């Protein structure tokens, strides 16, 4: 017997032994078990599973191929789509399937678990139906003059302001004050655009709100393009009262978004689709703010064309350019980001892997939406000062040069995904410089 088949046998035996004891909630860490649309579909009735009983999993085809290649049998699929399949499995198998994926492939398994077959199959069709593309690149007349207005100074000053809060911890008053400051800043910068307004979104269970700026689309108002990053910070060792400047993680991402809001706000652009800029609360404690917002969006059936996540942009860990995360993201949208960088950002790009649901893009992906994420470096070359009192602007070199290309990409993403309304033409003063 090979080592591999021994491990599979052990896995299955363990699964059988622990089937009754395995708690359902425990395999949420790092594994996608979101009952997609579960809340929205509460009416759907079919054989409900008990904790010992079966679950229905929705497994991506690429993961299925890996599981099969490793000799683990899940039986025949009950149904399949172009990208995933539904299997009935004992509940106790899931933690072991997750361990198996980790041990064998060094990463999380790409499955969603559902309590009923109906939900698993609804999610299967939702997975196929929620693709945001095709993504097209045809807004150069707007994007080119706008990206030339992006300034390092704007980004640097926002990082300085946010890092000056003692911390932006989700339970701290200073974390609430930082959110309020951001809401006001986005309102000031974008308030001149028709209908634009920013608001604080409260969450149950902690005091820090998320910040949402909405610039309503002039034509396809119900289709939404989202640019986000987390506004909270954390000192991993010090707790609530400890200093956590979070200059790189993630004042930098919020500063990049704020620079894009400044440029768009002064442009006279009317987007065809609705644009939302989001500063998420409570990312550092389990993507909690973004999970609330993405779940709410799924519950309401919100149409999201694409989501981009900015988390850490200012530390030049492994050289020039923009790094695209390649896990927990939408492959088509990520490929499109590569094109936008080539055409507009003027820097090289490469992909890198987090290996787990490391930031808020994963909340959107979990809820069936096309999401991508950009990063400052390869994950190996990351800033080691994050989550400490040493995550200061000085530790990232004192300036914001590395973030400039990220802000150009944000402007390009906003305009190329939302598109300029046909009613508005590029103002002459934008093309003269």
Write out the catalytic residue numbers.
230, 249, 283-284, 311, 387
Q: Are 391 and 245 spatial neighbours (Cβ–Cβ below 8 Å)?
A: yes
CB closer to ligand BES out of 24 and 379: 379
Residues 269 to 298 in contact with Zn ion, rule: CB under 5 A: 284
Separation CA 176–CA 199 (nearest Å): 13
214 sits in which H/E element: strand 210-215
Separation CA 109–CA 99 (nearest Å): 8
Q: Which residues bind ligand BES (CB under 6 A)?
A: 249-250, 283-284, 286-287, 311-312, 354, 357-359, 375, 379, 382
Is residue 232 a contact point for Zn ion (CB under 5 A)?
no
218 forms beta bridges with: none
Chain centroid, CA 270 distance in Å = 25
Is residue 249 a contact point for Zn ion (CB under 5 A)?
yes
CB closer to ligand BES out of 310 and 413: 310
Residue 283, binding choice from ligand BES, Zn ion, none, Cβ under 5 to 8 Å by partner class? ligand BES
Separation CA 116–CA 77 (nearest Å): 15
Interacting stretch for Zn ion, rule CB under 5 A, among 37-45, 202-210, 245-253, 370-378? 245-253
Which DSSP letter does residue 249 get? I
Residue 358, binding choice from Zn ion, ligand BES, none, Cβ under 5 to 8 Å by partner class? ligand BES
CB closer to ligand BES out of 268 and 381: 381
Residue 178 burial (10 A CB sphere; 0-12, 13-18, 19+): buried
| Minimum distance of ligand BES from residue 362's CB (angstroms) | 8
**What b-and-e string marks burial along 193-208, b requiring 16 or more CB atoms within 10 Å of the CB?**
beebebebbebeebbb
CB closer to ligand BES out of 12 and 379: 379
| Minimum distance of Zn ion from residue 247's CB (angstroms) | 12
Separation CA 325–CA 330 (nearest Å): 10
Q: Are 393 and 159 spatial neighbours (Cβ–Cβ below 8 Å)?
A: yes
CB closer to ligand BES out of 223 and 232: 232
| Minimum distance of ligand BES from residue 46's CB (angstroms) | 32
Q: How many CA atoms lie within 13 A of 99 on its CB side?
A: 13
Residue 163, binding choice from ligand BES, Zn ion, none, Cβ under 5 to 8 Å by partner class? none
Residues that bind Zn ion (CB under 5 A): 249, 284
């Amino acid at each position: 017997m090979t080592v591999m088949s021994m491990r599979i046998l052990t896995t299955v035996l363990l699964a059988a032994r622990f089937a009754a004891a395995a708690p359902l909630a425990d395999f949420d860490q790092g594994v996608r078990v979101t009952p997609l649309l579960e809340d929205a579909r509460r009416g759907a009735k079919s054989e409900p599973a008990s904790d010992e009983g079966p679950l229905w999993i929705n497994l991506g085809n690429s993961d299925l191929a890996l599981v099969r290649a490793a000799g683990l049998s899940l039986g025949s699929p009950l149904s399949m789509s172009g990208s995933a399949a539904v299997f009935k499995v004992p509940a106790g198998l899931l933690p072991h399937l997750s361990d198996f994926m980790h041990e064998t492939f060094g990463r999380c398994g790409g499955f969603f678990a559902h309590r009923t077959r109906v939900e698993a199959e609804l999610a299967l069709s939702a997975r196929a139906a929620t693709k945001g593309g095709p993504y097209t690149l045809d807004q150069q007349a707007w994007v080119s003059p706008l990206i030339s207005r992006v300034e390092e100074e704007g980004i640097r000053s926002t990082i300085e302001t946010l890092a000056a809060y003692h911390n932006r911890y989700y339970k701290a008053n200073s974390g609430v004050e930082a959110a309020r400051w951001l809401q006001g800043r986005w309102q000031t910068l974008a308030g001149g655009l028709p209908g634009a307004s920013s608001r604080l979104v409260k969450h149950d269970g902690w005091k820090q709100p998320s910040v949402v700026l909405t610039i309503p689309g002039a034509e396809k108002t119900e289709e939404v393009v989202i640019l986000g990053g987390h506004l909270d910070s954390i000192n991993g060792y010090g707790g609530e009262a400890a200093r956590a400047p979070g200059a790189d993680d993630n004042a930098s991402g919020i500063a990049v978004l704020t620079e894009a809001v400044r440029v768009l706000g002064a442009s006279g652009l009317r987007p065809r689709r609705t644009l939302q800029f989001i500063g998420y609360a409570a990312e550092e404690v389990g993507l909690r703010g973004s999970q609330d917002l993405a779940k709410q969006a799924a519950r309401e059936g919100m149409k999201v064309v694409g989501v981009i996540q900015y988390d850490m942009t200012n530390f030049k860990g492994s050289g020039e350019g923009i790094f695209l995360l390649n896990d927990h993201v939408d492959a088509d949208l990520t490929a499109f980001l590569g094109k936008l960088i080539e055409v507009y950002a003027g820097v090289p790009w490469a992909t890198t892997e987090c290996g787990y649901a490391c930031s808020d893009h994963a909340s959107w992906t979990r809820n069936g939406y096309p999401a991508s994420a950009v990063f400052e470096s390869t994950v190996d070359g990351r800033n080691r000062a994050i989550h400490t009192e040493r995550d200061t602007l000085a530790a990232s070199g004192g300036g914001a040069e590395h973030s400039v290309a990220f802000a150009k990409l944000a402007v390009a993403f906003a305009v190329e995904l939302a598109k300029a309304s046909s009613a508005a033409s590029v103002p002459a003063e934008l093309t003269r410089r």
